[in-house]
Structure 1
Amino acid sequence: MDADSCPVIKEIVEIASKFSIEAVFVASYAHMKNDLQGQNWVFVDSYKEAVDLYLMNHVKKGDFAVTQDIGLASTLIAKGVYTISPRGSLYEENGIQTALELRHISAKARRQGFYGKGPKPFTEKDREKFIKELNMLLSNFKICSRNHN
């Protein structure tokens, strides 16, 4: 999990426990926490892409990842990783290119001095959608893997 500023850590811990999945949280030293909630944490350098690079180098096909970084999500999808945002949106191969293009257009506009409102505040409705979607994703995965054994 890309744990730098992740608003659903507690929920990930609970869901991972429910499905007997090991959750690994990756964060930069700049985001180090005192309460690690008894989970596996990996801390990396604080340079800009350190968390992303760690995740890209350590995930395997079939893993699950939570990130709000569209660029990282596109890389993980290409590696066969199921990727979901903290707001509960599943990143999929057929929609990621559009998301990357929109991100590029927004970045270009910001460089030209146009600043939007930024992302909407994270809401309780976002949290509920994340919980529902991650539970469904892991339930479906569990059923599929059981059928293949």
Structure 2
Amino acid sequence: MTVFIDADACPVKDEAIRVAERHRTRILLVCDGGLRRPLSEWAELVIVPEGPDAADDYIAEHAGPGDICITGDIPLADRCVKAGARVLDHRGTEFTESSIGSKLAMRDLMTDLRSAGQMEGGGGKPFGPRDRSDFLNGLERVFQALKRGR
């Protein structure tokens, strides 16, 4: 089992590392640079070449059944779910085979509306302490489910 973190803009790297350490699980923080290697014997920093999807491609190519991916990137989440990995966003919401299609469709719709000038702005609501707590709970649930073989 490996925990893959789409690390460039992930606000819960430290929390994910703490949980993975407790479960004695390898952690790969994947980015295109600018991060320091975490002070954890379980964590590795994977620096990919610069490019719009280089980190996503690395994660999607290496993640599979029994792995956990942490990302807020819906297309990456879709690729990882299809590869058999368990996928969480930074608020602890798990993307599943039954939920990823609607999330991807909504993302595409919002992108189209913004590009057509029908909506301004983008992004989600501000990230707060409750979100951090929800992430920790969600990640622990996934670890427990994987240990039970689900």
RMSD, matched Cα: 1.4
Distance 2:12 2:62 in 1: 21
From the superposition, tell whether residues 40 and 49 of structure 1 become closer, same or farther in structure 2 (CA, over 3 Å): same
Tell me which of 115, 119, 126 is aligned to 1:121: 126
Residue 141 of structure 1 pairs with residue 146 of structure 2: yes
SS in 2 for 1:71: helix
Residue 132 of structure 1 pairs with residue 137 of structure 2: yes
Distance 1:117 1:61 in 2: 32
Aligned amino acid, residue 34 of structure 1? R
Question: Is the contact made by 2:37 and 2:44 (CA closer than 8 Å) also made in structure 1?
Answer: no
Report matched runs for 1:59-138 at 5 Å.
59-113=63-117, 114-116=119-121, 118-138=123-143
From the superposition, tell whether residues 61 and 35 of structure 1 become closer, same or farther in structure 2 (CA, over 3 Å): closer
Distance 1:34 1:92 in 2: 31
Structure 2 equivalent of residue 55 of structure 1: 59
The two structures have a TM-score, normalised by structure 2, of 0.89
Larger CA Rg, structure 1 vs 2: 1
Aligned amino acid, residue 128 of structure 1? S
From the superposition, tell whether residues 126 and 17 of structure 1 become closer, same or farther in structure 2 (CA, over 3 Å): same
The two structures have a TM-score, normalised by structure 1, of 0.90
Structure 2 equivalent of residue 8 of structure 1: 12
Q: CA deviation at 1:36?
A: 2.6
SS in 2 for 1:144: coil
SS in 2 for 1:47: coil
Deviations 1:93-142 (A, max 9, x none): 11111111111111111111221453111111000000011111101211
Task: Give structure 1 regions of 4+ aligned residues with deviation exceeding 3 angstroms.
Answer: none
Deviations 1:40-63 (A, max 9, x none): 010112211111011111112221
Is the helix fraction higher in 1 or 2? Answer: 1
Runs of 5+ consecutive residues of structure 1 not aligned to the other structure: none
Question: Is the contact made by 2:92 and 2:131 (CA closer than 8 Å) also made in structure 1?
Answer: yes
Distance 1:119 1:13 in 2: 24
Tell me the matched-pair count: 143
